[in-house]
Structure formats: C-alpha cells, structure tokens
Amino acid sequence: MGKRLQSSTSEQETPEKRIRRSKIICSCTSPRPPFLTAHSIFSWYEEDIWTEIAKFLDGKSLVKLAATNRWFRRVIMEDSIWKFVCLRDLQVLPPQRVAFKWNKLYSSAFNGSHSYLFRQQEKHIDWMRIGAFCFDSSVALLAERLSFPRTIQKEDTTEKMMKSNGCCLLDNVKPGIWIADLQLARCPVCDLNTCDGTMQTLDARHIELFLCEGFQNGSWEYQLVGSHDIKKRADGAAGAIFDVKHLKDSSTMAIFDYKSWIGRPNDWQPKAMLTLHSVAVNTNLQENEGLHVKYHAMRAGADGEVVSIRISQQLL
C-alpha cells in the first residue's frame, strides 16, 4: 500500500510543481530585469543630469535638495553650480576671482542682509534691493546729478569737482561684483538744524564685504569722502556710481537719459536704474530749500581697497 501512495504522488506532481516548491521565497528583494547587468545599470543618481537640473533651481530649492541625502549634498554643493546660479540671479558677468565659495556669496547676497542690519540697526527705517553691477577698473565716479559731467580731471580736488559738477572721483575701488541697495534711515549724526530726521542713501558694497572679518568685527568704518550743499530747490534726491572705465558706454549713457526713468514730477516713489557698470537712483521731492549731500567710503583697512560706498541726501 505504501508503494501505491508513492506512485500516486509521483503521478500528481509535475516537475514544474516540484521546482516551485523548492524555490526559496526572499522578502524585501526585488527581481532585477535581465537587461540590467552589473556593468550597465541605469541610476537616478546621475551627476551630469542633476548638475543640469540644478541650474534651473533657485537657492532655496537647491538647499532643500542638498538636504535630501549625502549624495545630493555632494553634487549640489559643487562650487560650479552655485557660481552659475549666483551670476544668473544677479545678472552680472563672472569676475576674475573671488575669495569665498560661491554658496557663501549667494547666501550673503540673497538672505535679506543689508549694511544697516549689521550696524545702526536702530537708525534704519526701510530699504529696497536695486541689483548688482560690476567694477572692471579701480576708479569710481560718485555723482549727485544725473547729467553727464562736463569735464573730469583727476588733478582737481574733491572740493572743486563737487562745486563744479556735483561729483568726485574715488581711487582704489575693489574690482568685481557690487550690490546696490536704496536705504531710508534716520540721520546717524544730524548736523543740520532744519533736517526732518531722515535721509536717503544709495548704498553699494562689494559682494564679499559681509563675509570679511574686518567688516564683521567692526574694524572697518565709513569715512567721509566729500560733502556738498545744493542751496536751492531740488527736484529730486539723486545719486549715481559709475565705473569710470565704462562711463561712455552706451549702456551707461541710459542713466543720463533720466527723464525716461525717474517718473513723473508727482510720482514720489523712488526709481532706480542699473547697467552693467553703474547704478543710479532718484526720488522726486516736494517743496524744499535744497539738499545736503555726503559721500562715504569704507576701506578694507587703513590703506586697503574701497569695499563699500554711500551717497546720502538730507533735506536742508
């Protein structure tokens, strides 16, 4: 009888069934398609693909992607990616060299920081970002008028230039990318009896300024470069900074066509004009008795390069 049972069992079970029973079931194991060999495996983690994708993302999205895992952090934090994104968002040409990593430069440019946030915060009222421009040369022209200067002589004193053209030259300016903001602040040291307590400031800084130890520890200070009084009614509070090397460029000349961008006489909102190598701002004014204009510069040490420039106007 035992032999019959064995024979009956052999007849019922096919070879396929015996093989199926003997196969070990492995949990948490996915079958691999036959076309994926050990030497040709497609991976979603392709550096070239994600490097290109990263160029279309903003800074916040890049930081979130880098926080996904170690692989993404290594790829996304590549300096070349942040350089591309920084230049793209600032809309400027690449400088010859920078002293800091581009992700640090991007952060200092777009994290909402401005110069009054670090110092004289209690004096600050409001601000707006104008944009970025570049210095190719080391000489800047600072002006409180939006008309093209008639003559510029380096031999002239600052006082003479201020009186004749309302402008002055500033040497040893640090080349590279500069960021411009418009600031509204309470006068830090008001020396005018008729001042209403506020001033408008065109504030420009080298992109590396906020990362420098001399700025962070407060050892770099603004120094007065020149001052000038407009002792008659001023139609607007204006200020401009030019790279002298590009003063006659067609793009720069657009600033001197100020009627096309300063707004109508009864428009009191500040207006700004930005080119590759210059920046200007103008705010139309109501009735007044003139302006007191001050030019300040911050140097990287006593004899260092100029790393920040301010043009301020107070009502007389």
pLDDT in tens, 55-79: 899 999 999 999 999 989 999 999 9
**Residue 43 in this model has a pLDDT that exceeds 80:** no
Tell me, what's the pLDDT at 119? 81
**Residue 18 in this model has a pLDDT that exceeds 60:** no
The mean predicted confidence, pLDDT, of the chain is 84
Higher pLDDT, 241 or 43: 241
- Which 3-state string (H, E, C) describes the chain? CHHHHHHHHHHHCCHHHHHHHHCCCCCCCCCCCCCCECCECCCCCCHHHHHHHHCCCCHHHHHHHHCCCHHHHHHHCCHHHHHHHHHHHHCCCCCCCCCCCHHHHHHHHHCCCCHHHHCCHHHEEEEEEEEEEEECCCCEEEECCCCCCCCCCCCCCHHHHHHHHCEEEECCECCEEEEEEEEEEECCCCCCCCCCCEEEEEEEEECCHHHCHHHHCCCCCEEEEEEEEECCCCCEEEEEEEEHHHCCCHHHHHHHCHHHCCCCCCCCCCEEEEECCEEEEEEECCCCCCEEEEEEEEECCCCCCEEEEEEEEEEC
Domain ranges, ordered by start, for the chain: 47-107, 115-315
Each residue of 140-149: pLDDT tens digit? 999 998 988 8
Tell me, what's the pLDDT at 45? 65
Tell me, what's the pLDDT at 193? 54
Looking at 9-18, 45-54, 145-154, 256-265, which range is the least confident one? 9-18
**Residue 174 in this model has a pLDDT that exceeds 90:** yes
Residue with tokens 């200067």: 149
Give residue 175's pLDDT band: very low, low, confident or very high (50, 70, 90).
very high
Give residue 195's pLDDT band: very low, low, confident or very high (50, 70, 90).
low
pTM of the predicted structure, to 2 decimals: 0.81
Rounded CA-CA distance 274/251 in Å is: 9
Question: Ranked by mean pLDDT, which of 15-29, 73-87, 108-122, 141-155 comes out on top?
Answer: 73-87
Tell me, what's the pLDDT at 47? 81
Tell me, what's the pLDDT at 77? 92
Give mean pLDDT, residues 5-29: 43
CB atoms closer than 10 angstroms to residue 155:
5
Looking at 68-72, 189-193, 215-219, 311-315, which range is the least confident one? 189-193
**Residue 12 in this model has a pLDDT that exceeds 80:** no
Amino acid letter, 36: L
Each residue of 112-124: pLDDT tens digit? 999 988 888 888 8
Tell me, what's the pLDDT at 152? 67
Higher pLDDT, 6 or 106: 106
Give mean pLDDT, residues 246-266: 93
Tell me the β-bridge partners of 297: 223, 309
Tell me, what's the pLDDT at 138? 96
**Residue 183 in this model has a pLDDT that exceeds 50:** yes
